[in-house]
A and B are shown apart, each in its own frame.
Chain A
Amino acid sequence: MSATLSCPHKPRVGLFVTCLVDVFRPTVGFAAVKLLEDAGCTVEVPAAQTCCGQPAYNSGDRADARDLARQVIAAFEDFDYVVVPSGSCGGTIKRHYPHLFDGDPAWQTRAERLSAKTFELVSFLTDVLGVERVIARYPDTVTYHDSCSGLRELGIKSQPRRLLATVADLDLREMAESEVCCGFGGTFCVKYPELSNRMVSEKAAHIQTSEAGTLLAGDLGCLLNMAGKLQREGAAIKVRHIAEVLAGMTDIPAIGEPD
């Protein structure tokens, strides 16, 4: 907390870690912190965060989704910005929270205010802070999957590619149909496993055809799905969240790889 007080001019960012990053890939959270701090922000991580509520919202459980949204709003509304290393959780807060409170003007106003200052990590770095380059090196060919919510709800397409272009020794090779869903879809992948499998199989084929050594994306859900499929198929492709590469935190094993 003392760091905050010493630099009152710095943007105060609340990091919404996301439940998947919290449990499966803390490195992504630390990479986000590093990128934000490098860009001149003060980063705090409210302890009162769990999940954005998307699973409930997308399952038709509006009451629980609203409860969780209130929890997020209360925990984050005092920050200058809320940054999320996920297009889908970021999209939920930014695009869907206001609609959750139709008919509840007081909470809707708070949701709209939070929405206005909530950003996905890469979009925040580029579109808000104007970051044009990162100091990182990644000597591999990579291919980038455009996760659906980030792409279509938040317009994230060129931003990650612009930053990746500044990573030393990194060679970007686009896969075919990078904008087509990987089949994760939150609860979809367990409710319709066969369909999900078909979609991720096609995605895995496109990734392998690209002949890239590393797959990157901005959403851990999609990454777990694609990594799990590639590994089941025995493909020797490393899978990482884009924040790890941009932050230069790539000395730890890739997703789903042993220590």
Chain B
Amino acid sequence: MQVTSQTFKSNASVALRDAALQRALKNLKAGFPGKRAAAIAKLPEFDQLRDAGRDLKNHVLEHLDFYLERFEAKVIEQGGQVHWARDAAEARQIVLDICRSVAARRVTKGKSMISEEIGLNEFLEAHGIQPVETDLGEYIIQLRHEHPSHIIAPAIHLNRDQVADAFHAHHGPYGFTERNENPRALMNEARQVLRQQFLSADVGITGANFCIAETGTTVIVTNEGNGDLTQILPRVHIALASIEKMVPTLEDVSTLTRLLTRSATGQEITVYTTFSSGPRRVEDLDGPEQFHVVLLDNGRSGMLGGEFQDMLRCIRCSACMNHCPVYGAIGGHAYGWVYPGPMGSVLTPQLVGIDAAGQLPNASTFCGRCEEVCPMRIPLPKMMRHWREREFERHLSPAAVRFGLGAWAFFAKRPRLYRIVAGVGAWLLRRLGSRKGRIERLPLAGGWTAWRDLPAPQGRTFQQQWAARQGARS
């Protein structure tokens, strides 16, 4: 996937003017935060669980090599295969080789952000294999040749009209010639069309919300049932997982799922939580003959021991973006790569480079709502600040910002001089705004006054008045 994070500012500008997108984003803000709050209100232990989840993931990260090796051994013991991929290219090639080994022509896919991260669909298509997304949201955006704008609600940027158009344009050959706008009917159409795809696929590819070291199990947490049909009907099941998905035991996964679903959709549990261990057993009547797990690193191993290690606790619930006022204003595409919102602003610079994604950690007011809702207590603002520090150290921040900051710091470090400059500044601004009490246009502050007035200072600075008062007292 092409990275367009470099142009975040203009992407955001376009998004703010996109009326359809803005309508769709209202659904997000009206839905997720309230549902999450209601679910948490019903579980008094939620904050205790957050602490337990954080500690658990920290434990895993401290012993990630051990748990990865154990997971691998258990998968193999049950007849599955584990493939290690250093980067996106290796992961794509592994998947392609597996598909070719069974002469696959059609691949069904459950929702997987790792698949987006490695650009799997484009790659498979280029090699003559047809990938079919089966999660309703993913399917819609695949028809529209788009990428997800949200990590759990990929088509949240669209409204029913746009879905109706996409289905009307593509479902004719399946006998759906009328344009439907009713969400229920649209979903039925997708169900019927995709059922045929499930039944004729050679390989099914899913993601993995968790990988359990104790049992060599991959876990998917879903609502539609598409992930299950993807993995039980074809001959081959491939689960794509990044290395930090490891969890020691079934007990530990139970803790994390309690956190995940409430933080994500506000459900106490999703409809389906599916635990897959190896291929079908000899006596089984159904299930895949082969089970492969692809473990992707793609820059994550380098985060251990550094200032971004905490980010590896992320369980991809999306609470941070659901509560982010910046995400809520512009949606996910403006972020310019796979992972949007606060978690993306921390992760994307790591995965695609700070040169390309430097704007993302800057586009935050540090309002802290993301950290407040993060089930894994990831200090997202702190890590965005770390990125800003790296940018600053490498002189990547804009020259105007550096100059302004330098000039300001020069005075701020010299209190006597500062008091004089502040006094002059206050006087000057007061003069400019004396008539109305506010300033409507100010050179060099166009970013402010283009959109709002600048309230004028009251006159003399506090320090000037205080000094006068102390003088009068003594």
List chain A positions with a Cβ less than 8 A from chain B. 1-3, 17, 19, 21-27, 29-30, 45, 47-51, 53, 55-62, 64, 67-68, 71, 99, 148-149, 152-153, 179-181, 183-200, 202, 224-225, 227-229, 231-232, 239, 252-253, 255-259
Shortest beta-carbon distance from B126 to chain A in Å: 37
**Does B270 count as interface, using CB distance less than 8 angstroms?**
no
Question: Chain A residues with Cβ under 8 A from B405's Cβ?
Answer: 55-56, 59, 61, 64
**With A60-B389, A228-B453, A232-B453 given, is the CB distance from A187 to B368 under 8 Å?**
no
Question: Chain A residues with Cβ under 8 A from B411's Cβ?
Answer: 50
Which of B98-106, B256-264, B412-420 is the contact stretch? B412-420
Question: Chain A residues with Cβ under 8 A from B325's Cβ?
Answer: 180-181, 183, 199, 202
Contacts A/B (CB < 8 Å), 16 sampled? A22-B426, A23-B425, A55-B408, A60-B385, A60-B392, A153-B368, A180-B367, A185-B367, A192-B363, A195-B12, A227-B453, A229-B453, A231-B438, A256-B438, A258-B435, A258-B437
How far, in angstroms, from A198 to B388 measured CA to CA in the complex?
23
By DSSP majority rule, is chain A's interface helix, strand, loop, or mixed? helix
B: number of interface residues (CB 8 Å): 72
Q: Are B409 and A195 in contact (CB under 8 A)?
A: no
Q: Are B409 and A64 in contact (CB under 8 A)?
A: yes
How far, in angstroms, from A123 to B6 measured CA to CA in the complex?
41
In the complex, besides A71-B413, A253-B437, 17 extra interface pairs with C-beta distance below 8 angstroms are: A22-B463, A30-B465, A59-B397, A59-B405, A62-B389, A64-B409, A67-B413, A180-B325, A186-B365, A188-B365, A190-B447, A191-B363, A193-B446, A194-B13, A224-B455, A227-B455, A231-B452
Q: Are A22 and B392 in contact (CB under 8 A)?
A: no
Q: Are A71 and B466 in contact (CB under 8 A)?
A: no
List chain B positions with a Cβ less than 8 A from chain A. 9, 12-13, 16, 325-326, 329-330, 362-369, 371-372, 382, 385, 387-393, 397, 401, 405-406, 408-409, 411-413, 415, 418-419, 422, 425-426, 429, 434-438, 440, 445-448, 450-463, 465-467, 473-474
Q: Are A60 and B391 in contact (CB under 8 A)?
A: yes
Q: Name A68's contact: one of B412, B456, B473 (CB within 8 Å).
A: B412
* Nearest chain B residue, comparing its CB with the CB of A225: B452
Question: Chain B residues with Cβ under 8 A from A255's Cβ?
Answer: 455
Q: Are B426 and A23 in contact (CB under 8 A)?
A: yes
Q: Name A189's contact: one of B389, B401, B448 (CB within 8 Å).
A: B448
Q: Are A24 and B426 in contact (CB under 8 A)?
A: yes
Question: Chain A residues with Cβ under 8 A from B419's Cβ?
Answer: 47
Question: Chain A residues with Cβ under 8 A from B429's Cβ?
Answer: 23
Q: Are A231 and B388 in contact (CB under 8 A)?
A: no
**With A23-B426, A26-B462, A152-B368 given, is the CB distance from A229 to B451 under 8 Å?**
yes
How far, in angstroms, from A253 to B459 measured CA to CA in the complex?
12
How far, in angstroms, from A48 to B414 measured CA to CA in the complex?
8
Q: Name A152's contact: one of B363, B372, B390, B392 (CB within 8 Å).
A: B372
Q: Name A60's contact: one of B393, B412, B450 (CB within 8 Å).
A: B393
Q: Are B474 and A68 in contact (CB under 8 A)?
A: no
How far, in angstroms, from A224 to B371 measured CA to CA in the complex?
26
Question: Chain A residues with Cβ under 8 A from B438's Cβ?
Answer: 227-228, 231, 256-257
* Nearest chain B residue, comparing its CB with the CB of A201: B451
Question: Chain B residues with Cβ under 8 A from A48's Cβ?
Answer: 415
* Nearest chain B residue, comparing its CB with the CB of A192: B363
How far, in angstroms, from A153 to B406 measured CA to CA in the complex?
27
Shortest beta-carbon distance from B243 to chain A in Å: 27
**With A19-B422, A24-B458, A190-B445 given, is the CB distance from A198 to B16 under 8 Å?**
yes
Q: Name B401's contact: one of A3, A22, A27, A187 (CB within 8 Å).
A: A187
Q: Which 4 A-B pairs have the closest CB atoms?
A: A185-B365, A60-B388, A256-B455, A60-B392
Question: Chain A residues with Cβ under 8 A from B455's Cβ?
Answer: 24, 224, 227-228, 231, 239, 255-256
Question: Chain B residues with Cβ under 8 A from A29's Cβ?
Answer: 462, 466
How far, in angstroms, from A252 to B455 measured CA to CA in the complex?
14
How far, in angstroms, from A126 to B90 measured CA to CA in the complex?
59
Question: Chain B residues with Cβ under 8 A from A2's Cβ?
Answer: 474
Question: Chain A residues with Cβ under 8 A from B451's Cβ?
Answer: 193-194, 196-197, 200, 229, 232
Question: Chain B residues with Cβ under 8 A from A259's Cβ?
Answer: 437
How far, in angstroms, from A27 to B139 measured CA to CA in the complex?
59
**With A55-B405, A185-B366, A232-B453 given, is the CB distance from A61 to B458 under 8 Å?**
no
Q: Are A50 and B412 in contact (CB under 8 A)?
A: yes
How far, in angstroms, from A68 to B406 measured CA to CA in the complex?
13
How far, in angstroms, from A190 to B409 measured CA to CA in the complex?
17
Question: Chain B residues with Cβ under 8 A from A224's Cβ?
Answer: 454-455
Q: Are A56 and B437 in contact (CB under 8 A)?
A: no
Question: Chain B residues with Cβ under 8 A from A197's Cβ?
Answer: 450-452
**With A17-B462, A148-B367 given, is the CB distance from A57 to B385 under 8 Å?**
yes
**Residue of A30, A192, A255 with most partner-chain B CB within 10 A:** A192
Q: Are B437 and A61 in contact (CB under 8 A)?
A: no
How far, in angstroms, from A248 to B130 measured CA to CA in the complex?
72
Shortest beta-carbon distance from A16 to chain B in Å: 11
Question: Chain A residues with Cβ under 8 A from B466's Cβ?
Answer: 29, 45
Q: Are B409 and A56 in contact (CB under 8 A)?
A: yes
Question: Chain B residues with Cβ under 8 A from A71's Cβ?
Answer: 413, 415
Question: Chain B residues with Cβ under 8 A from A187's Cβ?
Answer: 401
Q: Are B437 and A24 in contact (CB under 8 A)?
A: no
Shortest beta-carbon distance from A183 to chain B in Å: 7
Q: Are B457 and A193 in contact (CB under 8 A)?
A: no
**With A48-B415, A152-B371 given, is the CB distance from A184 to B365 under 8 Å?**
yes
How far, in angstroms, from A88 to B232 measured CA to CA in the complex?
53
Q: Are B12 and A192 in contact (CB under 8 A)?
A: yes
**With A45-B463, A47-B467, A256-B438 given, is the CB distance from A60 to B365 under 8 Å?**
no
